[in-house]
Amino acid sequence: MHLPRPRSLATQLFAMQVVLVAAVVAGCALFAYITGRAHADETARKQVLATAYALADSPSVREAIRTPDPTALLQPYAERVRHDTGIDFITIMNPDGIRWTHPDPAQIGMPFLGRTAPALRGETFTETYTGTLGPSIRAVTPVRDNGRITGLVSVGITVDRISSEVTRQVKVLAWVAGAALVLGGLGTYVINARLRRHTHGMNAAELSRMHDYHQAALHAVREGLLMLDGRRRIALMNDAGRELLGLDDSAVGRPVAELGLPAPLTDALLASGPRVDEVHMTADRIVVVNTQPVVGGERRGTVITLRDHTELQALSGELDSERGFTQALRSQAHEAANRLHTVVSLIELGRVEQAVEFATAELELAQALTDRVVGAVGEPVLAALLLGKAAQANERGVELVLAEDSRIDDGVLPTALAPRDLVTILGNLIDNAVDAAQGGEGARVTVTALVNGGDGGDSADGEDSTDGGELLLGVRDTGDGVDPEDMEEVFRRGWSTRGPGRGLGLALVRQAVHRAQGTVELARGAEGGAEFTVRLPLGRRPSGPGGAGVVSSPTSAGTVPSPGDAGTGAVPSSADAEATPPAVPSPRTDPTSPADAEAAR
């Protein structure tokens, strides 16, 4: 059996309101009828009393009573007054109740039907009594002549006449009530038609169920969800949205422009048109933003979804690093095969000593690089990264050099400084520097890694002795450098000189430096290329508000305290290299295993 669909909320409200209006109108009509009938009775009593008093006090009536035939004078006079006042009957009688006047001449001379005793005592009274003309409201008053009661006057209005007057008023009231009901119904229909549009014809149960689904979906989705009203204020925000933007419950109801979000992200949230898969950065995360205006005859607001792209970006960077590592291994395998063929040929020619010398020379060069990096950088994360980047740079024709004053012992970094942040910072700077130096004569990238303000090692009690010190990371290249006019823009997401889809690397560097409460300085290097210096405090203190300090200088003087020619490193003028995502370094420390293939987590 098919059950009928419950009526919509608007229809139910309309029916309830119509019944309510009808009940109110009916109640008002009944009240008006009762009060109108009571008012009509009271008006009739006042009218008959006034007429009776006037007749009893009339000199002509007293004079007519003295005559032998009072009827001859009183009947015409009473009828004239009756017609003039709209009274139904005027009866003038003697003290014994015998009528001298009556609207029906046949009743003249007949006894009066009704009470007269109070009037004979000199009282005036009213009553409802059924006489010859039917039920009537009448007044009876005595006629006095020199203090003596010489007659009685009875004036009355029939109940039928009063009822007819009330009926006429009720008809008018019924028309008014009907008009009020129609107007109320039309008004209710218009209001509920609008309500029906707003509720899409759903009934109360469906609306309640929809609200429950809405709340469940809002808190179940992992994506951030924001809803802005027409005044660009946050009307709704789920838990994931609060986490991605770093906001709390107090943000609801506040304008987006007052939340202190990065300017590009704020512009995207306030955009009047839709935004699709735009990548933006907060203080700690990379988010993908999609916006869709809500339009229904007028702009009602904006629906915004936020996806955490940090992990995906890390995995993408790891994949790119693995691809680069694979290409490097293929190139090295190809070169190794060529060298092996050369060694075999030298042996076949009988030149064994030359074959041994040729084979060991390459091994000594690779081992020297490994010994230099491992000896200067005891921190396995940075050592693995530098060895991997050195192999990649060599395949691209760029020499990666570790500055002579570089020195970082194992365990010197505090646990609050995440290894993935170090890899993000140094890896992106090296990638950018290699991009900038590649293709130039004597292409070289110089990397500096040292600890200032501490001994770079452990104290006697085993605790970290670098509290208050700083980790200094520098990258300098031999590229074209950065235009001084662009030094303030290189850290902005999307800024690039190498086409679309790039410009995220330095933005990630700034984000990682911010988390570590450090600073990053951009200057022109001594060799003409770009020079970046990152200073990260090693004290164990939590990350607080405020971003990483960014300092730009057109010269290299005084930017980094690096002794000798092995100064701090630099980044290329493009400042847009692909991001090396935050990652956990590979445990491999082989010179051929790039540290940028660390697992992103």
**pLDDT tier, 142 (very low <50, low <70, confident <90, very high otherwise):** very high
Amino acid at 175: W
Domain region containing 271: 221-308
What pLDDT, on a 0 to 100 scale, did the predictor assign at position 559?
34
**pLDDT tier, 461 (very low <50, low <70, confident <90, very high otherwise):** very low
Lowest mean pLDDT among 17-21, 220-224, 234-238, 496-500: 496-500
Percent of the chain with pLDDT over 90: 2
Q: Where are the alpha helices (DSSP H) in 57-158?
A: 59-66, 70-85, 117-120
Q: Which helix (H) or strand (E) holds 264?
A: helix 263-269
Within a domain: residue 538?
A: yes
What pLDDT, on a 0 to 100 scale, did the predictor assign at position 556?
36
**pLDDT tier, 305 (very low <50, low <70, confident <90, very high otherwise):** confident
State how far the Cα of 91 lies from the Cα of 114, in Å rounded to an integer.
12
Residues forming a β-bridge with 580:
none
Regarding whether 505 and 487 lie in a shared domain, the answer is: yes
State how far the Cα of 235 lies from the Cα of 252, in Å rounded to an integer.
6
What pLDDT, on a 0 to 100 scale, did the predictor assign at position 205?
73
Q: What is the mean pLDDT of residues 521-550?
A: 67
Within a domain: residue 58?
A: yes
Regarding whether 407 and 532 lie in a shared domain, the answer is: yes
- How many residues can be counted in the chain? 601
Within a domain: residue 515?
A: yes
Please say whether the beta carbons of 496 and 484 come within 8 A: no
* Token pair 């164990």: residue: 540
What pLDDT, on a 0 to 100 scale, did the predictor assign at position 536?
84
Regarding whether 324 and 284 lie in a shared domain, the answer is: no
What pLDDT, on a 0 to 100 scale, did the predictor assign at position 516?
78
- Per-residue pLDDT of 87-103, as tens digits, reads 888 889 998 889 999 98
User: Is residue 185's pLDDT more than 80?
Assistant: no
What distances in angstroms separate CA 227 from CA 243, 302, 319, 416, one per listed residue?
15, 6, 35, 35
Closest CA to 499 of 561, 562, 578: 578
Residues forming a β-bridge with 288:
279, 307
State how far the Cα of 355 lies from the Cα of 339, in Å rounded to an integer.
10
Closest CA to 556 of 528, 591, 525, 515: 525
Higher pLDDT, 9 or 598: 9
Number of neighbouring beta carbons within 10 Å of residue 555:
12
Regarding whether 302 and 350 lie in a shared domain, the answer is: no
Q: What is the mean pLDDT of residues 159-168?
A: 76
Number of neighbouring beta carbons within 10 Å of residue 424:
28
Lowest mean pLDDT among 33-47, 51-65, 86-100, 495-509: 495-509
Domain count, the chain: 3
User: Is residue 324's pLDDT more than 80?
Assistant: no
Q: What is the CATH number of the domain that holds 238?
A: 3.30.450.20
**pLDDT tier, 152 (very low <50, low <70, confident <90, very high otherwise):** very high
* C-alpha Rg value of the chain to the nearest Å: 53
State how far the Cα of 60 lies from the Cα of 76, in Å rounded to an integer.
12
What pLDDT, on a 0 to 100 scale, did the predictor assign at position 505?
73
- Per-residue pLDDT of 541-595, as tens digits, reads 444 434 444 444 433 333 333 333 333 333 333 333 333 333 333 333 333 333 3
Within a domain: residue 205?
A: no
Regarding whether 530 and 440 lie in a shared domain, the answer is: yes
Regarding whether 225 and 158 lie in a shared domain, the answer is: no
User: Is residue 176's pLDDT more than 70?
Assistant: yes
State how far the Cα of 286 lies from the Cα of 511, in Å rounded to an integer.
9
**pLDDT tier, 327 (very low <50, low <70, confident <90, very high otherwise):** low
For residue 184, count CB atoms less than 10 angstroms from its CB and return exposed for 0-12, middle for 13-18, buried for 19 or more.
middle
State how far the Cα of 582 lies from the Cα of 481, in Å rounded to an integer.
26
Regarding whether 323 and 270 lie in a shared domain, the answer is: no
Lowest mean pLDDT among 286-290, 347-351, 463-467: 463-467
Within a domain: residue 458?
A: yes
Closest CA to 285 of 43, 581, 522: 581
Token pair for residue 417?
């400084």
Q: What is the mean pLDDT of residues 443-472?
A: 64
Regarding whether 328 and 300 lie in a shared domain, the answer is: no
What pLDDT, on a 0 to 100 scale, did the predictor assign at position 542?
42
Higher pLDDT, 161 or 347: 347
Number of neighbouring beta carbons within 10 Å of residue 399:
14
What pLDDT, on a 0 to 100 scale, did the predictor assign at position 309?
72
Please say whether the beta carbons of 477 and 397 come within 8 A: no
What pLDDT, on a 0 to 100 scale, did the predictor assign at position 496?
56
Q: Which helix (H) or strand (E) holds 224?
A: strand 224-229
Tell how far CA 425 is from the center of its chain. 36
Please say whether the beta carbons of 554 and 478 come within 8 A: no
**Last residue in a domain, options 261, 288, 308:** 308
What pLDDT, on a 0 to 100 scale, did the predictor assign at position 355?
82
State how far the Cα of 572 lies from the Cα of 555, in Å rounded to an integer.
15
Please say whether the beta carbons of 387 and 591 come within 8 A: yes
State how far the Cα of 429 lies from the Cα of 575, in Å rounded to an integer.
8
Indicate the pTM of the whole model.
0.47
Regarding whether 289 and 384 lie in a shared domain, the answer is: no
Closest CA to 383 of 371, 374, 393: 374
Regarding whether 304 and 317 lie in a shared domain, the answer is: no
Percent helix, strand and coil across the chain, each rounded to 5? 45, 20, 35
Amino acid at 182: V
Q: At what angle do helices 419-437 and 505-515 cross, to 10 degrees?
A: 150
Regarding whether 328 and 231 lie in a shared domain, the answer is: no
Q: What is the CATH number of the domain that holds 530?
A: 3.30.565.10
**pLDDT tier, 363 (very low <50, low <70, confident <90, very high otherwise):** low
Within a domain: residue 192?
A: no
User: Is residue 170's pLDDT more than 80?
Assistant: no
Regarding whether 438 and 293 lie in a shared domain, the answer is: no
Closest CA to 335 of 592, 518, 147: 592
Among positive and negative, which fits the CA dihedral 521, 523, 526, 527? positive
State how far the Cα of 321 lies from the Cα of 329, in Å rounded to an integer.
12
Please say whether the beta carbons of 238 and 227 come within 8 A: no
Number of neighbouring beta carbons within 10 Å of residue 139:
25
**Last residue in a domain, options 257, 273, 308:** 308
What pLDDT, on a 0 to 100 scale, did the predictor assign at position 316?
65
Higher pLDDT, 13 or 240: 240
DSSP 265-309: HHHHHT-SS-EEEEEEE-SS-EEEEEEEEEESSSEEEEEEEEEE-
**pLDDT tier, 141 (very low <50, low <70, confident <90, very high otherwise):** very high
**Last residue in a domain, options 308, 340, 369:** 308
Within a domain: residue 197?
A: no
User: Is residue 499's pLDDT more than 70?
Assistant: no
Within a domain: residue 216?
A: no
| Mean per-residue pLDDT over the chain, rounded | 73
State how far the Cα of 44 lies from the Cα of 21, in Å rounded to an integer.
34
Q: Which residues, other chains included, contact 171 with Cβ-Cβ below 8 Å and sequence gap of 6+?
A: none
Please say whether the beta carbons of 133 and 63 come within 8 A: no
